[in-house]
Structure 1
Amino acid sequence: MAVSGTWRPMRAHDMAAVKAISDAVHGRYTEDEAIYAERLSLHPAGCFVFEEAGRVLGYLIAHPWQAGGVPAFNARLGAIPEKPGSYYLHDLALLPDARGSGAGRAALALIVAQARSEGLGEIWLTAVNGADRYWASQGFEAVEAPDPAGYDETCRRMNMRVPTA
């Protein structure tokens, strides 16, 4: 089935759909709904949902963070750092219907543009469930570093330099 959805800003009423998608996609790496809601309240400019005909098929959450730092899994941030050194792609999740539609590439373009607009030159993420292969194909490189809190040895910290416009 071809999908022709669009990314739009996330709103508070999207949280149930975001949580359901996370549960379906991430397995043991799903987080509490309160974590997603906090990210939206702290940095709405980095939160989007992928929607087609009123149905939410995916979501994207990202925010400024400490250079090279990774927030602990399923933990509240409390605040965005006053002087962030990078942009952190917290989560991109797409239901199977949306995969292969270009939604992932479009989401990355949104985050790259946001990082640029905030003057942040790199993007970090933690790849779970084998997603490191996808992120490597999008220009991210694995970084050897201790496992962030709450993640195991199968997860990969990855980063990419924000391409110049």
Structure 2
Amino acid sequence: MSGGAATWRPMRADDLPAVAAMSDTVHGAFTEPLATYAERLALYPQGCHILESRGFEGEGTAIGYLVTHPWRLGAPPKLGAALGALPAEPDSYYLHDIALLPAARGQRAGEAAVALVRNLARAAGLPVIELVAVGGADAYWQRLGFAYAAPGADGPYGPGTFVMRRPVEA
């Protein structure tokens, strides 16, 4: 991406088609339907963000997204499943999904996203962030301070997926 900077901003309902398209592009077999993202946005809008590039003309282009929410530790939601509601007494902050298009890579957008997630978790009073790493991303998440919740065990989405956690204050 030349000529502009990328920044995280709150997600809006009109971003959802782009979010679903980015999910399809980036996640392949682990993509989720638009309805999943619409529900997460409705349930916890403060946890949903768009990475937007700004070119010289000031136009914004969505080049990534982030979906997070309070949750229960050790119980990642099923892929594509509706939540219905967030838990009344969450004990962790769940990084549900992040996708970055090639235009976003090399800009430390993932590091900025983790800083954002840490701030959101801190504001929610939750001590730990949990995620499910897919597609070989576990090595990347390790570099950002996440550790395997159950080393050597396959995660909830099958072989090669891993539940990972990191304390908010680390």
Which of the five TM-score ranges fits, normalised by the shorter chain?
Answer: over 0.9
Which stretches of structure 1, 4 residues or more, deviate above 3 A after TM superposition? none
Gaps of at least 5 residues in structure 1 are none
Match of 2:102 in 1: 96
Letter in structure 2 aligned against 1:55: T
Structure 2 contact 50–62 (Cα < 8 Å) conserved: yes
TM value normalised by structure 2: 0.92
Match of 2:57 in 1: none
Match of 2:135 in 1: 129
Letter in structure 2 aligned against 1:154: G
* TM superposition shift of 1:67: 1.9
1:109-124 paired onto structure 2 within 5 Å: 109-124=115-130
* TM superposition shift of 1:147: 3.3
* TM superposition shift of 1:146: 6.1
Q: Which is further off, 3-12 or 55-64? A: 3-12
Distance in 2 of aligned mates of 1:77 and 1:64: 12
* TM superposition shift of 1:42: 0.2
- Of all paired residues, the percent bearing the same amino acid is 52
Distance in 1 of aligned mates of 2:72 and 2:128: 11
Distance in 2 of aligned mates of 1:46 and 1:18: 14
TM value normalised by structure 1: 0.94
Q: 1:85 to 1:24 in 2, by over 3 A?
A: same
1:83-119 deviation digits (Å, cap 9, x = unpaired):
0000000011100110110111111111100000111
The RMSD of aligned alpha carbons is 1.2
Matched, 1:18 2:16: no
